[in-house]
Chains A and B, each alone.
Chain A
Amino acid sequence: MKKLRNEFLIFAICVAAITSALGQGELRFCLRAEPKTFDPLKVEDESSMAVRYLTGGVLVRMNRQTQALEPELAQSWKVSKDSRQITFKLRSGVTFSDGTPFSAEDVAYTVQQLMDPALHSSTGDAFRSGPGNTETKIISPTQIMITFPAPVAGLDRQFDQVAILSAHSAKKEMAVVGPFMVDDYKPGASLLLKRNPNYWKTDAQGHKLPYLASIRLDIQPNRDVEMLRFKRNEIDLINALDSEYFDKLAATSPQLVHDAGASLDSEQLWFNQVAKSPLPSYKKNWFRSAAFRRAISSAINREDLSRVVFRGHAQPAIGPVSPANKFWFNAKLKPETYSPDAALRALQADGFRMENGTLKDKDGNAVVFSIMTNAGNKYREHMATMIQEDLQKIGIRINVVTLDFPSLIERMTQSFDYEAILLGLTNVDLDPNGVMNVWLSSSDNHQWNPSEKAPETTWEAEIDRLMRAQASSSDAKKRKEAFDRVQEIAVEQEPFIFLVNRNALSAVSAKVQGANPVVLVPQTYWNADQLSIK
């Protein structure tokens, strides 16, 4: 009887140990806005992306730390030479959260849904490089071949964003293959994700993942409140921290904050080069002159912007690609040297002259222009004010204008009634295809001169050619060469004056184990299935 009791005790301890290994912890953090959809194919906003990342099972996943592509639901894959076709070998024995088995049929269903033009999926747009239908061929339950009508650059990497849907589950998109599943949603308040009991992954010791029992996402748009809640231990992490809060927190709890270095995000200034804009012709001439843009660029003290505005938690930008993008960054590019004297000399060589401390062009017009930015963003307002003082040193008078965002966008995209704009660009995609819409002269997002019928300058024509060349090539080396040249042209011509790359700052509670913040989104919970709570 005593032996039986001992065996029972040992069994109870084992059960407790296993339960402990599985983890009963709940990770809590804030989303800045309501997720707009739970359908992973329709995701466009940041909050929905977070939910998709935590719940969606993908065929391949880019490791946010190494930036290398790793197998997930696909054990292996092969991309055809022409980059139009990809064949996946899938894992067997995987089931969705509701118990529906996962097979090639689900992948085919997901791809067909994704590429349906009626869905207007921005994730699908990344695969849409030419007219025609996408074909899927199920070779076996664990093998599928997908053929696109035209070559898709970085084809395999694009599948990092494609969460697989179940073709047969009655629960539709709520049946997931990712580590967590949506359990409870209180609109405007919180979203509760529970561990997917059927998640296929295990750790090195063979324990089932994820370790966490649940993740609670509180919807909290106010960053001050988010910070206060973190300090009160009501939430466990802050994914993107402002530099001001970072320093405050670092002063009291340095072990909780993480500066992962320059992120992909950049802040930039650009001049209006739209021919039909309502600006006086002499100003159009300034803004369309590469020498003028380069001079302005070299008169801006980027070191000071990084050090003062971002308290050292930003790096002076070198070009259109952040050094955080390990593969695509052109390492040959050198940072712009701050030199107001050189800027003034360059302007004088271009016909400008200094008169009583005011810079004037060859027709005697004083160089005065406005820099517009969005109201309420203190970092951009501070940068604009510092640029105002920097340019004053070479006799240029700047008027800083802060506008509400809709008015700013209206001026930027509809009336073109602006002179210079200071805004940021948030990059999620490492691949240059993610910025095709910025660099192609015909694009609406070609901000300095959108929707050109034909490239208006030779350098824009060259960028168009190079961007199309890299997009249609499957040779990574050739693509890199083409995009390196795009970066060089961008630095020579400065249609965008890149100012700084913000650092990826985050805060993680000491209770969270396994966290290793990185620069890529989602910085702190990219390895959510391996996080646990002490």
Chain B
Amino acid sequence: MKFLRGNLWRNVACVVLLLVVGTSLSANWLAPDGYARQYREAADAPPSHTHWLGTDEIGRDRFARVLYGTRISLLLAPAAALLSTLMAAFIGGLAGYLGGAWSRGAMAVTDLFLSLPWLFLLIAVRAVMPLNVSPLFSVVVTFLMLGLLGWTTAARVLCSTASSLRESDFVRQARASGVRGVRLFWIHVVPNLKPVLYAQFWISIPVFILSEANLGILGLGVAEPMPSWGSLLKELEGLVSVGEEPWKFVPLLLLVVVVTSFQFALSKQDEVAA
């Protein structure tokens, strides 16, 4: 019964995620005027039949921006998660498998990266980037940076797992049978790292969504006029007014729902990893 209940929540979470992804992918049909058009005569308007979630402060349709912003955040966050997981697998997995000085060296580098204030690092990286880049390029670079900087925690986990696999009986037996080097790593270690890799991948997605949101709130994420959840959440800065305009909470609500759904959806992966 407990299993069924857990499974039910996981299924609901998957359905919610599919629904959100599906709807955001239909943005071109649901909001054909796009996310950038400014209805200046109806700036900061409340919800109406023409603008279902009202308009933002310069008159852009909030519903369209939520759809397109969701698409951007939901498509690029997994891409960044994939990049960071692959880097973690390469650095952490290999270091754990090789052990000794390799492991110590790799973990020293990981610790160094972990100690860096990532937010300031991102700000610094953004500052040295060329200015004249399109909004699309800026969004790709933002998530690329998140991916390149977000591998460290996963690398530590993978290093530890690979290290214990190296000392496991079946790897010793394989080694005794003459299997060595890349072949041993590829056939015996990597398949056993897969559950951890999956779990790290799924865990990273909401982390990157939130990181982009943080950057967006600071005005350093995705360039205007392209929306992202981060830029949409910036509207909540004026907390005095938001209580009177609950529709401005929709991007936040969506973020909470999606991040929670990810947590439920990956709960089984966690169990496997544990």
B218 CB, nearest partner CB in chain A, Å: 6
Q: Which chain A residues in 43-73 approach chain B with CB under 8 Å?
A: none
Whether B274 is near chain A, meaning CB under 8 Å from some CB there, is: no
Q: How large is the interface on A (under 10, 10 to 19, 20 to 34, 35 or more residues)?
A: 35 or more
Q: Which chain B positions have C-beta within 8 A of A378? A: 57, 219, 234, 237
| A404 CA / B215 CA spacing, docked (Å) | 11
Asked whether A224 and B238 contact (CB < 8 A) given A308-B43, A386-B38, A388-B224, the answer is: yes
Q: Which chain B residues in 188-242 approach chain A with CB under 8 Å?
A: 218-220, 223-225, 234, 237-241
Q: Which chain B positions have C-beta within 8 A of A400? A: 223-225
Whether A472 is near chain B, meaning CB under 8 Å from some CB there, is: no
| A309 CA / B237 CA spacing, docked (Å) | 16
Asked whether A418 and B131 contact (CB < 8 A) given A244-B238, A404-B220, the answer is: yes
Whether A245 is near chain B, meaning CB under 8 Å from some CB there, is: yes
Across the interface, do B218 and A376 meet the contact criterion of CB distance under 8 Å? yes
Interface centre among B133, B134, B218, B219 (most CB of A within 10 A): B219
Whether B48 is near chain A, meaning CB under 8 Å from some CB there, is: no
Q: From A155-163, A367-375, A429-437, give the one contacting chain B.
A: A367-375
Q: Which chain A residues in 322-379 approach chain B with CB under 8 Å?
A: 368-370, 372, 375-378
A113 CB, nearest partner CB in chain B, Å: 40
Across the interface, do B58 and A224 meet the contact criterion of CB distance under 8 Å? no
B34 CB, nearest partner CB in chain A, Å: 12
Across the interface, do A399 and B134 meet the contact criterion of CB distance under 8 Å? yes
Whether B51 is near chain A, meaning CB under 8 Å from some CB there, is: no
Across the interface, do B220 and A308 meet the contact criterion of CB distance under 8 Å? no
| A248 CA / B220 CA spacing, docked (Å) | 28
Q: Nearest residue in A to B241 (C-beta to C-beta)? A: A248
Asked whether A385 and B133 contact (CB < 8 A) given A375-B219, A402-B219, A402-B220, the answer is: no
Checking A245, A386, A407, A417 against B238 with a beta-carbon cut-off of 8 angstroms, the contacting residue is A245
Q: Which chain B residues in 99-142 approach chain A with CB under 8 Å?
A: 123-124, 126-127, 131-135
The 8 A CB mask of A406-421 against B (1 = contact, 0 = none) is: 0100110000011100
Whether A304 is near chain B, meaning CB under 8 Å from some CB there, is: yes
Whether B169 is near chain A, meaning CB under 8 Å from some CB there, is: no
Checking A228, A389, A401, A410 against B240 with a beta-carbon cut-off of 8 angstroms, the contacting residue is A228
| A311 CA / B44 CA spacing, docked (Å) | 10
Q: Which chain A positions have C-beta within 8 A of B43? A: 308
Q: Nearest residue in A to B133 (C-beta to C-beta)? A: A399
| A309 CA / B60 CA spacing, docked (Å) | 12
Whether A382 is near chain B, meaning CB under 8 Å from some CB there, is: yes
Whether B40 is near chain A, meaning CB under 8 Å from some CB there, is: yes
Asked whether A401 and B127 contact (CB < 8 A) given A227-B240, A304-B40, A369-B132, the answer is: no
Across the interface, do A375 and B237 meet the contact criterion of CB distance under 8 Å? no
| A245 CA / B239 CA spacing, docked (Å) | 10
| A403 CA / B133 CA spacing, docked (Å) | 13
Whether B167 is near chain A, meaning CB under 8 Å from some CB there, is: no
Whether A236 is near chain B, meaning CB under 8 Å from some CB there, is: no
| A231 CA / B220 CA spacing, docked (Å) | 32
Q: Which chain B positions have C-beta within 8 A of A417? A: 131
Whether A381 is near chain B, meaning CB under 8 Å from some CB there, is: yes
Q: Which chain A positions have C-beta within 8 A of B271? A: none
A217 CB, nearest partner CB in chain B, Å: 21
Q: Describe A's contact surface by its main secondary structure.
A: helix
Q: Which chain A positions have C-beta within 8 A of B241? A: 244-245, 248
Q: Which chain A positions have C-beta within 8 A of B238? A: 224, 244-245
Across the interface, do A231 and B240 meet the contact criterion of CB distance under 8 Å? yes
Whether B46 is near chain A, meaning CB under 8 Å from some CB there, is: no
Whether A384 is near chain B, meaning CB under 8 Å from some CB there, is: yes
Q: Which chain A positions have C-beta within 8 A of B38? A: 385-386, 389
Checking A370, A403, A419 against B127 with a beta-carbon cut-off of 8 angstroms, the contacting residue is A403
A390 CB, nearest partner CB in chain B, Å: 9
Q: Which chain B positions have C-beta within 8 A of A385? A: 38, 58, 224-225
A373 CB, nearest partner CB in chain B, Å: 9
Whether B144 is near chain A, meaning CB under 8 Å from some CB there, is: no
Across the interface, do B59 and A375 meet the contact criterion of CB distance under 8 Å? no
B190 CB, nearest partner CB in chain A, Å: 41
Across the interface, do A382 and B219 meet the contact criterion of CB distance under 8 Å? no
Asked whether A404 and B127 contact (CB < 8 A) given A378-B237, A381-B224, A388-B225, the answer is: yes
Asked whether A375 and B244 contact (CB < 8 A) given A224-B239, A386-B38, A399-B133, the answer is: no
Checking A231, A308, A388, A411 against B57 with a beta-carbon cut-off of 8 angstroms, the contacting residue is A308
Asked whether A308 and B133 contact (CB < 8 A) given A245-B238, A400-B223, A404-B220, the answer is: no
A292 CB, nearest partner CB in chain B, Å: 17
Closest 10 CB pairs of A and B: A375-B219, A407-B127, A400-B224, A402-B219, A370-B131, A385-B224, A308-B43, A370-B132, A401-B131, A376-B219
**Between-chain CB contacts (< 8 Å), 24 pairs:** A224-B239, A231-B240, A248-B240, A304-B40, A308-B43, A309-B57, A309-B58, A369-B132, A370-B131, A370-B132, A372-B131, A377-B219, A381-B224, A385-B38, A385-B58, A386-B38, A388-B224, A399-B134, A401-B223, A404-B127, A407-B126, A411-B131, A417-B131, A418-B131
Chain A residues at the B interface, C-beta cutoff of 8 Å: 224, 227-228, 231, 244-245, 248, 304, 307-309, 311, 368-370, 372, 375-378, 381-382, 384-386, 388-389, 399-404, 407, 410-411, 417-419
Chain B residues at the A interface, C-beta cutoff of 8 Å: 36, 38, 40, 43-44, 57-59, 123-124, 126-127, 131-135, 218-220, 223-225, 234, 237-241, 244
19 other A-B residue contacts (CB within 8 Å) besides A376-B218, A403-B127, A407-B127: A224-B239, A224-B240, A244-B238, A248-B240, A307-B40, A308-B43, A309-B58, A378-B57, A378-B234, A382-B58, A389-B38, A399-B132, A399-B134, A400-B224, A403-B220, A404-B126, A404-B220, A407-B124, A417-B131
